[in-house]
Amino acid sequence: MLTTKQRAYLKSLAMNTEPVYQIGKNSITPEFVEGIIECLEKRELVKISVLKNCSDDPGELAHILSERTHSEVVQVIGKKIVLYKESKEHKKIELPRSKGNAV
């Protein structure tokens, strides 16, 4: 679970990122979910654009995607979804530590 500070940090990183996936009229397919899983493993932070021809609610889509990809929803703004999942092999993003996790 992301802390407020970590979520804010990820939002700031996502601001300068272009969407790498688009959800269209076919909504979420198993192949789409597989692509997002692979992208999360490589990038950790993925921005997705919901196209106008998609009738589904971006908030609901974000929730479904986060469940199916085991990722965290960073934010949903308008038709943009940002997901985060820590990579096992390609760790790139160092999240700010929360006060309770000090070692």
pLDDT digits (tens, 9 = 90+) for 68-90: 999 999 999 999 999 999 998 88
The answer to whether 61 and 50 have CB atoms below 8 angstroms apart is yes
Q: What superfamily in CATH does domain 4-86 come from?
A: YhbY-like (3.30.110.60)
pLDDT score at 88:
86
Say whether pLDDT at 101 is over 70: no
The whole-number average pLDDT for the span 18-30 is: 93
Q: What is the mean pLDDT of residues 47-61?
A: 95
pLDDT given at position 45: 97
Contact call for residues 28 and 58 (beta carbons, < 8 A): no
- Give the model's pLDDT for residue 92: 87
Q: Is the pLDDT of residue 65 over 70?
A: yes
State the pTM of this model.
0.90
In the prediction, which pLDDT does 100 show? 56
pLDDT classification of 103: cutoffs 50, 70, 90 = very low
What is the distance between the alpha carbons of residues 33 and 56, in angstroms, rounded to a whole number?
16
